[in-house]
Amino acid sequence: MTNKADKALLPAGMSDVLAPDAAFEASVLDRLLADFAGHGYDRVEPPLIEFEESLLTGIGAGLAEQTFRLMDPVSQKMMGVRADMTPQIARIASTRLINAPRPLRLSYAGQVLRVRGSHLRPERQFNQAGAELIGADGAAADTEVIVMAADALGRLGVTDLSCDLGLPTLVPDFCRGGPAGEGGDADLQTRLRQALDRKDAAAIAEFSDELGEDTTGPLAAMLAAAGPASGTLKTLGSLGLKGAAQAGMKLLNDVVDRVQAALPDLTLTIDPVENRGFEYHSGVTFTFFAKGVRGELGNGGRYQANGGAGSDSEPATGFTLFMDTVLRAVPAPELRSRVFLPIQTTAEDAAGLRAEGWITVAGLEECGDGEAEAARVGCSHVLDGGKVRKINKSNKE
């Protein structure tokens, strides 16, 4: 590896973040976490690596395929690099903070590493920021996290934000007792799930032989009902759902009313059959999108937090924002002006300028033409005779 190109090549999905993006990302993260802290969510910081057995149990079980593993030479146990921080927060809540009063509000931010990137997110390492509300159930708790996330994104300057609500338990509750229900034909369930995930209306219709029109009819209606919240709720209401499915729908309705009351400008949609990415969720889920921005800004929802097999679980809800997408949706920051200080400048003058909000770039040696040197090192201004002066761009070679 003597060649420059060899040295520059990074593994797939990894990248160097340079100026001004690195500073921008850090400042956006700071603003988000300050926002969460303002709502009483205390920041915690779990380690990058944990033992596999604690990282990949409970809600982390689905992440096994995405987790890089390495062996700890000290304990001789297998360790995993976190692919998602939520399971770590759940672990902290159910172990170290088991005696803390409920509801417990925690926030976090950090890098995660994944084995594979996806088509839309080829990055294998990226920043997550999020918050979890643990030990609280019901529509008020669901609403709190949705509104806090939407509000935080809005405050960052994300425009045309929309929130897509889901209820991954709706289809299983509806199918309960039938062949596609719990304990039924596992293969049939997988195929039905795939068809629903792709929103493939034709494939749903093909299930009518196996499930009967009584089941596929309402499923097709649920699939077609995805869209603006009020319309979806109306359709769901007309399906005559019973039992747990009906209770779930009522809860969804309640959450929609509360979120709309808090944030009347937020576009709210409902996707009653959405399940992808919500495999471990047990109640209302949500995904944030911004108009014209590729991919999800973040997602979250209700789940049962437990610290692994055997421990008690408690209701929790929370969300994770994906910083790569969030940054695409946030307006680019205004660059602060940089002023070049010739070597004669006193430390006092330099400090004064920084206090005024300038970025100062000090000259380290005598240079004849201050203006040319300022242009060369990327400054927009130069300190000349005690006065800050904008440089004349045409002087730049």
Partner 1 sequence: MLRVNEKLVLALPKGRILNEVMPVLRDVGIEPEAGFEDSDDRRLRFATNLPELDIIRIRSFDVATFVAFGGAHLGVCGNDVLLEFDYPEIYAPVDLGLGRCRLVVAEPEDMIGSDDPATWSSLRVATKYPTLTQAHFAGRGVQAECIKLNGAMELAPQLGLCRRIVDLVSTGNTLKANGLVEIEQIAAITSRLAVNRAAWKTRPDEIGHWITKFRGAVDGDAA
Binding-site ranges for partner 1 (CB under 8 A): 118-120, 160, 162, 164, 197-202, 205, 223-224, 226-228, 231, 267, 269, 271, 276, 287, 289-296, 328-329
Q: Which two tokens stand for residue 386?
A: 């005690």
Please say whether the beta carbons of 309 and 57 come within 8 A: yes
Name the residue nearer to partner 1 (CB basis): 223 or 321: 223
DSSP state of 221: H
Name the residue nearer to partner 1 (CB basis): 47 or 157: 157
Name the residue nearer to partner 1 (CB basis): 176 or 328: 328
Name the residue nearer to partner 1 (CB basis): 109 or 293: 293
Please say whether the beta carbons of 28 and 129 come within 8 A: no
What's the closest the beta carbon of residue 224 comes to partner 1, in angstroms? Answer: 7
Name the residue nearer to partner 1 (CB basis): 104 or 163: 163
Closest CA to 267 of 165, 131, 157: 165
What's the closest the beta carbon of residue 260 comes to partner 1, in angstroms? Answer: 15
Name the residue nearer to partner 1 (CB basis): 13 or 46: 13
Q: Which two tokens stand for residue 93?
A: 């809540």
Please say whether the beta carbons of 287 and 163 come within 8 A: yes
Q: Which two tokens stand for residue 179?
A: 């062949």
What's the closest the beta carbon of residue 299 comes to partner 1, in angstroms? Answer: 11
What's the closest the beta carbon of residue 272 comes to partner 1, in angstroms? Answer: 13
Name the residue nearer to partner 1 (CB basis): 196 or 239: 196
Name the residue nearer to partner 1 (CB basis): 335 or 377: 335
**Whole-angstrom distance, CA of residue 155 vs CA of residue 35:** 9
Coil, helix or strand for 218?
helix
Q: Within the chain, where are the H helices?
A: 4-8, 21-38, 52-55, 86-94, 139-155, 170-175, 186-197, 201-206, 208-211, 213-224, 229-237, 243-262, 323-329, 347-355, 370-376
Residue 289 CB-density burial (10 A; 0-12 exposed, 13-18 middle, 19+ buried) = buried
**Whole-angstrom distance, CA of residue 247 vs CA of residue 17:** 47
Name the residue nearer to partner 1 (CB basis): 138 or 217: 217
What's the closest the beta carbon of residue 397 comes to partner 1, in angstroms? Answer: 33
Name the residue nearer to partner 1 (CB basis): 102 or 191: 191
What's the closest the beta carbon of residue 231 comes to partner 1, in angstroms? Answer: 8
What's the closest the beta carbon of residue 257 comes to partner 1, in angstroms? Answer: 18
What's the closest the beta carbon of residue 271 comes to partner 1, in angstroms? Answer: 8
**Whole-angstrom distance, CA of residue 341 vs CA of residue 345:** 6
What's the closest the beta carbon of residue 153 comes to partner 1, in angstroms? Answer: 13
184: left (phi over 0), alpha (psi -120 to 50) or beta: beta
Q: Would the CA dihedral through 323, 122, 272, 109 be positive or negative? A: negative
Please say whether the beta carbons of 169 and 275 come within 8 A: no
What's the closest the beta carbon of residue 65 comes to partner 1, in angstroms? Answer: 15
Contacts of range 67-73, beta carbons closer than 8 Å, 24 or more positions apart: 67/114, 67/115, 68/113, 68/114, 68/115
